[in-house]
Amino acid sequence: MFGTGSVSYEVQSRREGRWRIEGAYTDQESAMSAARSQLAASGVEEAKVVKFRTIAGLSLETVILHKTVPQAPRKGLTLGGTAEGAPLCRTPDDLRGFESRVVIGRLLRPYLDAQRITPTELLHSWPLFRRFEEQGALLGAAIHAVARHHADIHGVSHAARARELRQLVEAVTEAARDALAERRRLPRFDTADLPGTSRRIEEAVEPAGHDALFLILLCQHLEAGGPLAGKLDLLLAMMGEDAEPRHLALLDGVVADIMGSADTVKELLGAQPSLHAGLCVLSDGLFDRDPDPALAPMAGSLRRVCRLALQGRAPQSRTVLLERLRQSIAGDQPLDRRDAKADGMLTHDLADRMKGADGALLGGAAMEKALERRLLRHRQSVLRAQGMHGHRRPAVGAVAGGGIRAGE
């Protein structure tokens, strides 16, 4: 009587509690196949197919598929590191600062990686911070770890310092909560015109509040980035040659947060056969050398970060990447698990790789110490295997086969 009308299908998925449209289809089988693919994708919590039928001007909507991805039992999250180096923050801006975020990233690494977020996002997004608070004792554990460190280093009261830190956290996150409440009236964040964005911000708040509001708006923009590698792409798109220094500094801070994720950096380094290969690729990138054809190339986004670091336009990211190099060299993992006996030779090779055209070692004295520590550990393991014991430190000149010259 009314004819067949028109039929279409829409595939929707839910990620991190938010539904979004993944695609529209004209046939049911294609829509069902797309929904099944979504259910297999990382981060998807639910998927459904909605059938739309229009007859005589009436629109009928029917859900023909709705499935929830089974959730694996969640393990209790714990702190991922120590509070070593935590600055003695006195103001909200101190807590938002680079040194503070490095420690936050170390303490909360398991949680941050599981949620695919950065310390900057945690501090500047009220929904993300509320979700973190729901983890129970994790926030308190982090606060007390920092308070204990400050008590040991600075002689302050542990209890009093814990109260001060909680007040700072509340001050920072209240700003993010207030911004969310005023979201519709906030200045527009235009990635193609950051100077214009800053002008609108300064019209809305005092100049002193520019950076905090800029980062709040930036974090809202990064919600569309998905995993940390995707957010890195969004950030780099704003760090062009014409980017202003103040915008570069703010964007570099979030890029540095991403570089603090070992899993993300490992992904961006590519499928390397060994730790030695990965460190060589990263060293070459920090010098902006041509890729070694014998090794898998790093992702273009990481190469761009390394180039910005070399140009002096991403100093925070450079600091984090150099520290990642140093920690990997100073650590206990063999440079090649397939041949632990080759550690000495590979350490010498890596030291040569980390020297610039001027002969200066990448990372300076701290890196030199890490190389010496690895060589000493290798020497001791060789002597133990021979039934001997030795504790003499290798000469500095032995590390690079001709002397290490400390330098940045």
pLDDT, tens digit, 9 for 90 and up, residues 258-293 = 999 999 999 999 989 999 999 999 999 999 999 888
**Are 119 and 108 contacting, i.e. CB atoms less than 8 angstroms apart?**
yes
DSSP assigned state of 195: H
Over residues 54-67, the mean pLDDT reads 83
How far apart, in whole angstroms, are the C-alpha atoms of residue 277 and residue 269? Answer: 10
pLDDT, averaged across the chain? 87
Backbone region of residue 85 per phi and psi (left: phi > 0; alpha: psi in -120 to 50; beta: other values): left
Highest mean pLDDT pick, 57-61, 74-78, 324-328, 381-385: 324-328
At 304 the pLDDT is 97
* Positive or negative torsion for Cα 178, 183, 187, 192: positive
Contacts of 46 (CB under 8 A, 6+ apart): 13, 14, 66, 67, 68, 69
At 384 the pLDDT is 83
**Over 90: is that where the pLDDT of 35 sits?**
no
Tokens describing residue 385? 């295997």
At 76 the pLDDT is 58
How far apart, in whole angstroms, are the C-alpha atoms of residue 41 and residue 39? Answer: 6
At 135 the pLDDT is 77
At 211 the pLDDT is 93
With tokens 């923009």, the residue in question is 221
Of 131 and 305, the structure prediction assigns the larger pLDDT to: 305
At 198 the pLDDT is 94
Half-sphere exposure of 6 (CA within 13 A, CB side): 7
Of 404 and 340, the structure prediction assigns the larger pLDDT to: 340
**Over 50: is that where the pLDDT of 336 sits?**
yes
**Using one digit for the tens of pLDDT, what is the confidence trace for 183-203?**
778 888 999 999 999 999 998
In single-letter form, the type of residue at position 178 comes to D
Reported as a pLDDT band with limits 50, 70 and 90, residue 399 is: low
At 383 the pLDDT is 83
